[in-house]
Amino acid sequence: MEIAPGIHRIKATFGANRMVYVHLLIGSHASMLIDTGCAGNPDADIVPYMHSIGFDPATLNYILISHSDVDHQGGNAPMKRHAPNAILLCHNLDRTWIEDTEALILGRYAQFEQDHDIGYGDAGKADIRADCLSAPIDLTLEGGERFYLSPDWYIEVIHAPGHSFGHLVVYDPRSKTLISGEAAIWTAILADDWTPTMPPTYCQVDTYLATIARLAAMDIEIMSPAHWRVQRGAGDVGAFLRESRDFCVLIEHKLMNLAHAGAAFTLRDAIERISPAVATWTPPVHQDFSYGMLGNLVSLTGRGLLTTERNERGLVTWSLPI
């Protein structure tokens, strides 16, 4: 679907009921694909869409990966086979995880195992390997770069960290369109039928909230995120951003209430006690809340509002400072 002149939004489905929207930008002089979905999405969704609009994938100039996550980078190697001359781009801070599937598993998906006894297990990691076919990055970005797709049309790449260290968004000043990825993650990530399927996976809370504030100050008429409907008009865009911010702040308040209740708690304790009151997704206790919850806990600890120790099992616990 063309959501603005030259900007196409392509649905890529994966898993039992998941989807991610990737974007194809076509100008008179250059073209760019933003994200490649999972390993099967180039063949199943992206390339067929390109053919349906008369675009030859072999002529693609750029492939920009918004951030390091299996459903945004997993199709890199298959997509490069269709577009061998396309320059593969990402932010420098996410390069290691985007180029190397094992590094992605170790750094992103296995990060909770040692300190929190939360993980995906061998079967989950095998699924990630199958869905993530990595490829070498050709060029890294830092944010602020402009790409001219036509003589009178440029797009701007903006560093928007929070969900990952190097998350990027793409802004088109001509149509005031923001391709936002997961820079703001609302109150849940949605399934293919638009129902909540998992918690919002923001990670670095302080930069996440700063990113939301930056986006809220921009002149955005159309915002196309990765797992949500297109937001049109300043009112809908602003509401989406505010609700994303407010959920993150709500979790902070609930964590402080949990700390004031008494005993030291683990990350798993926090998930089990807080998620039933806030979850719209199923199941109500979901290990993917680890990303956002730990982000809040790290922020609170860094500000001196909580302190950490380890329990008899060696797991990190949080409590109020003495």
Could you report the per-residue pLDDT of 19-65, keeping only the tens digit for each?
999 999 999 999 999 999 999 999 999 999 999 999 999 999 999 99
pLDDT band (50, 70, 90) for residue 282: confident
Which secondary structure element, helix H or strand E, spans residue 34, and what is its range?
strand 31-34
Tell me the domain boundaries of the chain. Answer: 2-179+200-242, 247-319
d(CA 79, CA 57): 9
CATH class label, 247-319: mainly alpha
> Residue 3 pLDDT > 70, yes or no?
yes
CATH of domain 2-179+200-242: 3.60.15.10
Look at the pTM and tell me if it is higher than 0.85.
yes
Sign of CA dihedral 113, 14, 26, 224: negative
Buried (b) or exposed (e) across 74-112, using 16+ Cβ within 10 A?
A: bbbbbbbebbeebebbbbebbbebbbbbeebbeebbbbb
∠ Cα 241 42 188 (to 5°): 25
Fold equal for 2-179+200-242 and 247-319? no
